[in-house]
């Protein structure tokens, strides 16, 4: 499989090169040259396949011969070493829980898959040491830190906005040590992301340091998220209803992966990109004008993104605005609406949703005012990661799962920076 840059000004590359480079030389996101739908029999008999078998069928065309079947299946099996249950909430609405991995966030799968691909590509050659540079608004940092911990030949540098991630999230990305370094930025997530992008454009820096990204712009982080939508479909009792996915959306990588699953033949009628006050895409769908804005801080902080990187991939898939609007709806919700949704879900079903899942629920609720179908909203992170929000809203205590107990009492280690020059100076000194 070859990958091309969405900026169309760079040579096509292999899967391996797309993974290692992260961004194309023209700073475009990589996109697969072709997408071949899976056989109809695969969907008809999906209940008979385990998760590893499903994931292998979904991902293999995007990797080709670059990782042999045996090794690819081992990577997938190791990546998917936890459950992805569908939980009923109310009539025609269920949630898909993606928080049963080591950092209790949906990004565990992409980070683990990408790290294991790096491990495979570094295995049999004198590979140049790589620095994974990543900005996080919450969960990406912890997932990447856990996924890459101890991977040979890879340093991980995580930038996060000071005071704008939860205590649990901060501990997950500042306590691991080894090859994981955390930089605490005096600013917003947008500032962190701007520094990362500037680093990739800095030829003086990239001539000294082999940089790549582990945000969802990287194809090995992004594509494995297709698995979730197949796992949900497998578990549905009634597969004949129109299937509606509501995805809490920040950088739009997860919903874009769902749209790729749709291109592979998964019978999804509609996607809802449910956002918080960062309403760039809802405004675009309403006005036809895409306007990036400074991100606003909300209680669903992992979605506090003012210029979603992966939206350009969604535009590439659908080709025209007319086709895009046919399959994609997007709504924005306030913090107060999110809090009320958390209370409503708890009252009606006994289920405790985190703020991001609650935004996804609101997306379905709004869509179903005028439409019917089987709704699935994505529960992206365990509510324990947002105790400062969840406990006051629901007026109850949430017990720490083991994954959180393992890090919560460890000492935070971070380096505070305010400028790009400080980031650059730090990167140059990494041994």
CB atoms within 10 A of CB 127: 15
pLDDT, residue 124, reads 62
Taking every pair of C-alpha atoms in the chain, what is the biggest distance, in angstroms? 58
Predicted TM-score of the model (pTM): 0.91
Sequence-ordered list of residues with C-beta below 8 angstroms from that of 333, at least 6 positions apart, any chain: 274, 275, 276, 341, 359, 362, 363
Written as tens digits, the pLDDT of the chain (431 aa) is: 999 999 999 999 999 999 988 889 888 999 999 999 999 999 999 999 999 999 999 999 999 999 999 999 999 999 999 999 999 999 899 999 999 999 898 999 999 999 999 888 877 656 667 899 998 877 788 888 998 998 888 899 999 999 988 888 899 889 988 899 999 999 988 899 889 989 988 889 988 888 888 888 899 999 999 999 999 999 997 778 899 999 999 999 999 999 999 999 999 999 999 999 999 999 999 999 999 998 898 999 889 888 898 999 999 999 999 999 999 999 999 999 999 999 999 999 999 999 999 999 999 999 999 999 999 999 999 998 888 899 999 998 988 888 888 888 899 999 999 999 999 999 988 86
- Per DSSP (E only), the strands in 359-430 are 374-379, 415-417
The DSSP H or E segment spanning 161 is: strand 154-161
Q: Exposed e or buried b for every residue in 34-59, given b needs 16+ CB within 10 A?
A: eeeebeeebbeebeeeebbebbbbbb
pLDDT, residue 139, reads 76
Specify whether 107 is catalytic.
Answer: yes
Q: What is the pLDDT of residues 34-82, one digit of tens each?
A: 999 999 999 999 999 999 999 999 999 999 999 999 999 999 999 999 9
pLDDT, residue 349, reads 95
The token pair at 260 is 């790729």
Of the residues 73, 90, 91, 107, which is catalytic?
A: 107
* C-alpha distances out from residue 138 to 97, 167, 188, 244, 273, Å: 18, 10, 11, 26, 19
pLDDT, residue 126, reads 60
HSE-up (13 A, CA, CB side) for residue 223 = 28
pLDDT, residue 127, reads 60
pLDDT, residue 406, reads 85
Q: What is the DSSP letter of 236?
A: -
CA distance 404 to 390: 16
pLDDT, residue 125, reads 58
| CB-CB contact of 247 with 274 (8 Å) | yes
pLDDT, residue 112, reads 93
pLDDT, residue 214, reads 84
pLDDT, residue 142, reads 86
């Amino acid at each position: 499989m070859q990958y091309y840059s969405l900026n169309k000004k760079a040579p096509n590359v292999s899967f391996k090169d797309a993974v290692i480079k992260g961004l194309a030389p023209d700073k475009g996101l990589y996109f697969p040259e072709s997408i071949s739908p899976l056989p109809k029999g695969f969907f008809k008999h999906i209940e008979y396949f385990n998760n590893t078998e499903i994931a292998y069928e979904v991902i293999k065309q995007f990797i080709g011969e670059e990782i042999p079947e045996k090794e690819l299946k081992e990577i997938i099996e190791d990546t998917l070493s936890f459950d992805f249950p569908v939980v009923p909430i109310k009539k025609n609405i269920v949630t898909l829980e993606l928080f049963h991995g080591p950092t209790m966030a949906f990004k565990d799968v992409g980070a683990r898959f990408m790290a294991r691909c790096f491990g495979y590509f570094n295995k049999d050659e004198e590979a140049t040491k790589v620095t994974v540079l990543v900005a996080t608004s919450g969960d990406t940092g912890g997932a990447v830190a856990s996924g890459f911990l101890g991977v040979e030949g890879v340093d991980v540098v995580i930038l996060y906005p000071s005071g704008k991630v939860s205590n649990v999230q901060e501990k997950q990305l500042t306590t691991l040590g080894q090859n994981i370094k955390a930089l605490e930025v005096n600013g917003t997530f947008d500032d962190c992301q701007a520094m990362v992008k500037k680093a990739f454009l800095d030829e003086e820096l990239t001539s000294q340091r082999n940089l790549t990204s582990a945000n969802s712009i990287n194809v090995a982080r992004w594509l494995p998220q297709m698995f979730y939508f197949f796992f949900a479909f497998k578990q549905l009792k009634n597969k004949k209803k129109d299937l509606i996915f509501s995805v809490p959306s920040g950088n739009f990588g997860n919903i874009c992966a769902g749209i790729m699953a749709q291109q592979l033949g998964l019978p999804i009628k509609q996607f809802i990109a449910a956002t918080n006050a960062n309403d760039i895409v809802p405004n675009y769908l309403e006005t036809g004008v895409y306007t990036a804005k400074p991100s606003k801080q909300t209680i669903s902080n992992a979605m506090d993104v003012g210029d979603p990187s992966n939206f350009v991939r969604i535009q590439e898939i659908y080709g025209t605005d007319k086709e895009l609007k046919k399959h994609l709806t997007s709504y924005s919700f306030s913090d107060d609406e999110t809090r009320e949704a958390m209370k409503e879900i708890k009252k009606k079903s006994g289920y405790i949703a985190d703020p991001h899942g609650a935004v996804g629920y609101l997306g379905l609720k709004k869509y179903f005012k005028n439409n019917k179908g089987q709704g699935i909203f994505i529960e992206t992170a365990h509510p324990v990661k947002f105790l400062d929000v969840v406990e006051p809203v629901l007026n109850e205590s949430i017990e720490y799962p083991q994954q959180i107990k393992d890090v919560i009492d460890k000492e935070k280690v971070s380096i505070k920076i305010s400028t790009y020059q400080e980031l650059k100076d730090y990167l140059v000194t990494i041994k």
